[in-house]
Amino acid sequence: MAYFIDASKCSGCGACLDVCPQGAIYMVNHTAMIDSVRCKSCGKCVEVCPQHAIQWQQVPVIETTPETSRQVPMYLSTFNLRPRSRGRHGKRFGARGRQRWQNGY
């Protein structure tokens, strides 16, 4: 479970940004975004949001390895990335072979 900001409701006022003790909220195109790694789920942002744009909800996850069955937030969809995409200089980036997402990054 994690906090999520509904972009259609966010007015970009920055009230949540000012109150977050972890510095987990940042602005992208006048819309607040939450860094789920930094967020400690204190709920202060929910209390101050005048638009009620911040909600508590289930976040999609992916498994890292079969051995550990750990789960991490699915950042690929957040940033609209595809695994093994080509970068600006034609070099591939992303996980290769048995490499998997580790430590939530």
Q: What is the pLDDT of residues 73-91, one digit of tens each?
A: 444 455 555 555 555 555 5
- Map residue 72 onto helix, strand or coil: strand
DSSP state string for 7-41: TTT-----HHHHH-TT--EEEETTEEEE-TTT---
How far apart CA 92 and CA 52 sit, in angstroms, is: 40
Question: Which amino acid, residue 21?
Answer: P
Structural domains in the chain plus CATH codes: 2-57 (3.30.70.20)
Predicted confidence at residue 98, as pLDDT, reads 47
More confident residue, 51 or 104: 51
More confident residue, 51 or 87: 51
User: In the structure, what pLDDT confidence band is assigned to residue 3 with cuts at 50, 70 and 90?
Assistant: confident
Q: What is the pLDDT of residues 19-38, one digit of tens each?
A: 999 999 999 999 999 988 88
How far apart CA 55 and CA 2 sit, in angstroms, is: 8
